[in-house]
Chain A
Amino acid sequence: MLEVHNLEKVYGEGDTAVRALENINFTIRKGEFVLIVGSSGSGKSTLLNMIGLLDRPTSGKVIIDGIDTSTLNDNQLSSFRNSKLGFIFQFSNLLSDLTVLENVLLPRKIEGTEESAVEEAKTLLRTVGLEPQLNKFGNKISGGQAQRVAITRALINKPAIVLADEPTGNLDSLSAETTVHLLKSLNRKLNQTFVVVTHDRPQFGQVDKIITIKDGKIVEGELEAMA
């Protein structure tokens, strides 16, 4: 369960201060597939960074599985991200010096449980059709394949919430369609919470919830209306 209370993010100080997020409140239940939509610069990626604990809010709270993350120090945040959150980025962000398998195993290596994860990783990669690419380096596969590896990497630790920032933004239409289908099927199959930032709302079809951001605020009424 993810709860966001009175979230605010301000960049800069005084006259030059920019209010990127203001008075953000919502709750996402386990297993929901949620879209965060909005135009470019509306603050949706900033919101995702706050939920993903990659950046600290100026005020407000992000509560994940009952834990108030504002009380955690830097090391605790790192461990929390590793165990509770999975990230899928727009550019896949695989480490080019690691192979596909090593990239997928990285979160488990960080956790220190990679020994039991090799077979799991291979199974996941088989699921997304990438078993033949297992030993290729991250920069030697196509963009669509890289995004599927990134999805696998996000899932290997069985996180409570998977956060995706424009996961189809850098893909051709066919790869984008495959990726959306994969995300939604994994959401149903694994019953994990997915929070996806996108500017292409129709691509995702029916979802559990949509949060629309405009000028750093949730647009009144749209939260429930579009769900």
Chain B
Amino acid sequence: MSNLLRKLSLKIKYQTNLYLFVDYRAQIGIRFITRRKGSLIAACLAIAIAILVVQVNSVIFQGLYDAIVRDLVNYRFGHVFISKRGDFISRSDFMLVNWLQRIPWVQAAAPRLEYSALSINSTVNGQLIQDHNAPVPVLGVKPEWDMAASTLYQTVKGQYVSYRNSIVLGQLVQRDLGYPQIGDTVKIKFKDQFGNDVLKRFTIVGISATAGNQGNDNGVIINIDTLREIMDRPSQSSEIIVRLNDPSKASDVRDLFLSAFPSNADRFKAQTIEEAAEVQLAGFRSGIALINLVGFFGMISSAFGVVTIQMMQVTSKTRDIGVMRAIGSKRKDILLVFIFQGIVIGAIGAAMGTGLAIGYTTYAKETHMTFNGSLALEVKYNWMGLVQTDIMAFSLAIIASIYPAFKATKLQPVEAMRTG
């Protein structure tokens, strides 16, 4: 079969003489490199691996970043996060949620109230165990609304909070309390806004556990009305989380809300997820930039590999260069021969790298890649990034060919033929 193909290609090549009319510098450049399979494979692999490294970095670190953003949206902030500067929101949550849900891009909105308990304890096998990590973060939710605006309920083994004395323990709190089970009770001590201790007993209905502890694993979730009652803050909320059916409209929803509630008395603060989670994300973004930098340094190392291989090509082709110069090739023609070699290396390397990168991305996406049981990466096909990396790798292969090509032009024909 391969013999037949070879004969067919030779027939096309020579009977039509098409190949004879290709620019001779391109033809010789391509022949020089494609007939040295070892050099070609090594140079192309250098380029392909550089692309793969950048893409692997992107899949892992951008995937991790996107996964963190995804979980922050799902569990903590929504796409738009509304709070009040320095105080609790005192406007009716019914009114605010209803207003927000009239915006076409809003899928759901829900109020939340955050507080800290002084201590929490449970009795397991007759032994009283107090959570030593107190104070314990307490999140008050309105169950039906929260299940529409957040996926926090999906992290719960058992049931989400429903009735007034139900509680969902984070898995770390459960661990610190000696692993009380669903149906067991816990006692929590609060301090109300007037400084009075309030002791309250809850029945465990579920345990919340998330990969990478991105959810509410180190806190507890109770009914918002119970928490309002304990804090003596009827109808108040610390935030409204807003889930959008089109996340790209987050800024529009934020602006709409702020223009609708401009009052100084409200002092609302509305933020997109990127703004709300700035503290958590800023450091990570710097890390991604650093990793990308490392990837691009790797790419430059590959370029040095191409330089080395091209220099070897020039050395092994010294006599041919001399002959070409003797029969009339100009210096720029010799330059172009080796630049064309760089183009071939860049093109094949970029194609191989793209194939490997897409293969790896597909594998990571299909297997919901995780590391050590941490959160699953949010893998996306970043076509623009891949094209940019390809262009950069392709350009580097050509740039890496310039110096060897320049060295080749410096060979005097008589010297080249003598030493080649």
Show the binding face of A for B, using Cβ within 8 Å: 49, 52, 54-55, 74-75, 78-79, 81-83, 87, 89, 93, 95-99, 101-102, 105-107, 109-111, 114-115, 118, 134-135, 153
A102 touches B20 (CB 8 A): yes
Q: Give me the 6 closest cross-chain CB pairs, A-B, nearest first.
A: A82-B328, A109-B24, A97-B31, A54-B414, A110-B328, A78-B330
**Alpha-carbon distance A135/B14, docked complex (angstroms):** 8
Given the interface pairs A95-B28, A135-B10, the reply to whether A52 lies near B326 with Cβ below 8 Å is: yes
State the Cβ distance, B57 to closest chain A Cβ, in Å: 38
13 interchain pairs (CB within 8 A)?
A54-B326, A74-B330, A78-B331, A81-B328, A87-B326, A89-B417, A95-B324, A102-B20, A106-B324, A107-B328, A110-B333, A111-B328, A114-B24
A106 touches B327 (CB 8 A): yes
Closest A residue by C-beta to B329: A110
**Alpha-carbon distance A99/B32, docked complex (angstroms):** 13
**Alpha-carbon distance A120/B325, docked complex (angstroms):** 23
State the Cβ distance, B14 to closest chain A Cβ, in Å: 5
User: Given known contacts A75-B331, A98-B28, A111-B328, what 11 new A-B pairs fall within 8 Å (CB)?
Assistant: A55-B414, A74-B331, A78-B329, A78-B331, A82-B328, A97-B28, A102-B20, A110-B24, A110-B328, A114-B24, A118-B17
Closest B residue by C-beta to A118: B17
B330 touches A75 (CB 8 A): yes
Given the interface pairs A110-B24, A118-B20, A135-B10, the reply to whether A49 lies near B327 with Cβ below 8 Å is: no
Chain A residues within an 8 Å CB radius of B331: 74-75, 78
Chain A residues within an 8 Å CB radius of B20: 101-102, 105, 114, 118
**Alpha-carbon distance A93/B317, docked complex (angstroms):** 11
0/1 string, B314-327, CB within 8 A of A gives 1: 00000110111111
B14 touches A78 (CB 8 A): no
State the Cβ distance, A97 to closest chain B Cβ, in Å: 4
Chain A residues within an 8 Å CB radius of B412: 54-55
**Alpha-carbon distance A111/B320, docked complex (angstroms):** 18
Closest A residue by C-beta to B32: A97
**Alpha-carbon distance A22/B17, docked complex (angstroms):** 49
Chain A residues within an 8 Å CB radius of B21: 114-115
State the Cβ distance, B41 to closest chain A Cβ, in Å: 17
**Alpha-carbon distance A55/B418, docked complex (angstroms):** 12
Chain B residues within an 8 Å CB radius of A107: 327-328
Partner of B328, one of A83, A98, A101: A83
The answer to the question of B413 belonging to the interface, with a C-beta cut-off of 8 Å to chain A, is yes
Closest B residue by C-beta to A117: B20
Closest A residue by C-beta to B332: A75
State the Cβ distance, B196 to closest chain A Cβ, in Å: 92
Chain B residues within an 8 Å CB radius of A105: 20
Closest B residue by C-beta to A93: B323
**Alpha-carbon distance A145/B32, docked complex (angstroms):** 22
Closest B residue by C-beta to A82: B328
**Alpha-carbon distance A134/B323, docked complex (angstroms):** 20
Given the interface pairs A93-B319, A114-B21, the reply to whether A82 lies near B327 with Cβ below 8 Å is: yes
Within 8 A of A (CB), among B2-60: 10, 14, 17, 20-21, 24, 27-28, 31-32, 35
Chain B residues within an 8 Å CB radius of A109: 24
State the Cβ distance, A110 to closest chain B Cβ, in Å: 4
Chain B residues within an 8 Å CB radius of A115: 21
Chain A residues within an 8 Å CB radius of B17: 118
State the Cβ distance, B284 to closest chain A Cβ, in Å: 51
State the Cβ distance, B286 to closest chain A Cβ, in Å: 50
Closest B residue by C-beta to A97: B31
**Alpha-carbon distance A98/B323, docked complex (angstroms):** 13
**Alpha-carbon distance A82/B35, docked complex (angstroms):** 27
**Alpha-carbon distance A153/B414, docked complex (angstroms):** 18
Chain A residues within an 8 Å CB radius of B417: 54, 89, 93
Partner of A98, one of B10, B31, B322, B330: B31
**Alpha-carbon distance A106/B319, docked complex (angstroms):** 15
State the Cβ distance, B9 to closest chain A Cβ, in Å: 11
**Alpha-carbon distance A55/B412, docked complex (angstroms):** 8
**Alpha-carbon distance A85/B110, docked complex (angstroms):** 89
Chain B residues within an 8 Å CB radius of A95: 28, 320, 323-324
**Alpha-carbon distance A107/B327, docked complex (angstroms):** 6
State the Cβ distance, B51 to closest chain A Cβ, in Å: 28
Chain B residues within an 8 Å CB radius of A54: 326, 412-414, 417
A87 touches B320 (CB 8 A): no
Residue among B31, B32, B322, B414 with most chain A CB within 10 A: B414
State the Cβ distance, A163 to closest chain B Cβ, in Å: 10
State the Cβ distance, B104 to closest chain A Cβ, in Å: 66
**Alpha-carbon distance A114/B414, docked complex (angstroms):** 26
Closest B residue by C-beta to A111: B328
B414 touches A49 (CB 8 A): yes
**Alpha-carbon distance A153/B331, docked complex (angstroms):** 21
B327 touches A110 (CB 8 A): yes
State the Cβ distance, A156 to closest chain B Cβ, in Å: 10
Chain A residues within an 8 Å CB radius of B333: 110
**Alpha-carbon distance A130/B365, docked complex (angstroms):** 59
Closest B residue by C-beta to A109: B24
**Alpha-carbon distance A201/B256, docked complex (angstroms):** 101
Closest A residue by C-beta to B15: A135
State the Cβ distance, B330 to closest chain A Cβ, in Å: 5
A134 touches B328 (CB 8 A): no
0/1 string, B387-417, CB within 8 A of A gives 1: 0000000000000000000000000111001
Closest A residue by C-beta to B29: A97
A81 touches B28 (CB 8 A): no
Closest B residue by C-beta to A74: B331
Chain A residues within an 8 Å CB radius of B24: 106, 109-110, 114
**Alpha-carbon distance A93/B413, docked complex (angstroms):** 12
